[in-house]
Structure 1
Amino acid sequence: MLIAVIAGCEIGFWVVLLAGLVARYPLRMRRTGAALLLGVPLVDVVLLAATLVDLRNGATAGTGHGLAAVYLGYSVAFGHSMMRWADQRFAHRFAGGPPPPPKPKYGAARVRYEWREWGKALLATAIACAVLLGMIALVGDAHRTEALAGWPARLGAVLAIWSLWPITTTLWPPRPKKTAAPRP
């Protein structure tokens, strides 16, 4: 059941975001669009509430509860940048705004970009682990929360793998390809 709530929240995130952007740009209803966009984080609150109610009602924590914590962490850490990404594209397409800036391709700017994204993943992992620990403390029964105990290690492994990208970008930053000189 909780997996369905997670899927519904993911769909809800994008529906509320899209509704806010449509109201803001094509419909030119700035206040309504802003109100809808402010409602996007409420989707996370719904998921947190559903997870906590499920656990408080005596459910044994399972994969769905762990996924809910991970979803919350990543939604909080990456949600603002995802909303900004969508807003820039909508503003460009429907309101004559400037084209969205591309992510940097080369040099120090690319290295900073990769580390910033990894920093968001670190924040997401920290939030997810805090939620997991909160769920374990809330239930107070190690047997009922046994499935949650392995999630921090999984998240740490994902973060370690993710860190390979900014590390390699730092050591070997991408450079523009050299073009061959035109032949005389």
Structure 2
Amino acid sequence: MNFIAWTIVACEIGFWVVILAGLVTRYLFNRKRLGLFFLALTPVVDLVLLLVTAADLYNGATATQVHAIAAIYLGVSIAFGKSLIHWADERFVYYVKKQGPKPARRTGWAHAKHSLKGSLQHVLAFLIGGAFLAAMIYVINDPAKTEALSGMLKLWAVILGVDFIISISYFIWPRPAKAN
């Protein structure tokens, strides 16, 4: 695995480490402001990845699928970051602090609407990550060196379409409640 791939792995781990540090500091040590500081570090992790990827390409590397995944990671992290933190926060309070209501499993229309909201966030992630991919393609300006980026952008567009089809299907066939 190359340096960029390891950087993506490190950034993903770093993302969850700062979230966990924020939740532990916030709820177990009762330091709300310090916990918020840790949670606010998640965009810094994204910035590190962006800088490392841009530097690698600037130094003449041929764009690979790993570079494309870095752009996708950035888009997903920015678009889904707040909802991922909320998801983790809700579960931390219930499972670790043993407080608050149990996170509910959505069913029916609530699940369909939530899934559609996720698909709309996916569109935002696509726009952000796609802009990074398009910018890399434009700056490099060599189709032979950016073929992996173009291919990943097309694949991601297909995945986005499938995501929407799945979300729409929940309106037609709502997720049933589990039988007790």
Superposed CA offset, 1:141-165 (max 9, x none): 3332222111121001111222222
Structure 1 unaligned regions, length at least 5: 180-184
Equivalent of 1:77 in 76, 79, 86: 79
Q: How does 1:1-80 map to 2 (within 5 A)?
A: 1-80=3-82
Structure ID, larger Rg: 1
Change (3 A) 1:50 1:176: closer
Distance in 2 (alpha carbons) for counterparts of 1:60 and 1:6: 17
With the length of structure 1 as denominator, give the TM-score of the two structures.
0.88
Q: Give, in angstroms, the shift of residue 103 of structure 1.
A: 3.8
Structure 2 unaligned regions, length at least 5: none
Letter in 2 for 1:104: R
Distance in 2 (alpha carbons) for counterparts of 1:103 and 1:134: 39
Contact 1:25–1:94, Cα closer than 8 Å, also in 2:
no
Distance in 2 (alpha carbons) for counterparts of 1:30 and 1:177: 36
> Which residue number in structure 1 is paired with residue 140 of structure 2?
139
Distance in 2 (alpha carbons) for counterparts of 1:41 and 1:141: 30
Structure 1 runs (4+) greater than 6 angstroms displaced = none
Q: How does 1:145-184 map to 2 (within 5 A)?
A: 145-176=146-177
Contact 1:104–1:110, Cα closer than 8 Å, also in 2:
yes
Number of equivalent positions: 178
With the length of structure 2 as denominator, give the TM-score of the two structures.
0.90
Q: Give, in angstroms, the shift of residue 121 of structure 1.
A: 1.4
Contact 2:107–2:174, Cα closer than 8 Å, also in 1:
no
RMSD: 2.0
Q: Tell me, what secondary structure is at the counterpart of 2:14?
A: helix
Distance in 2 (alpha carbons) for counterparts of 1:81 and 1:61: 30
- State, as a whole percentage, how many aligned pairs show the same letter: 39
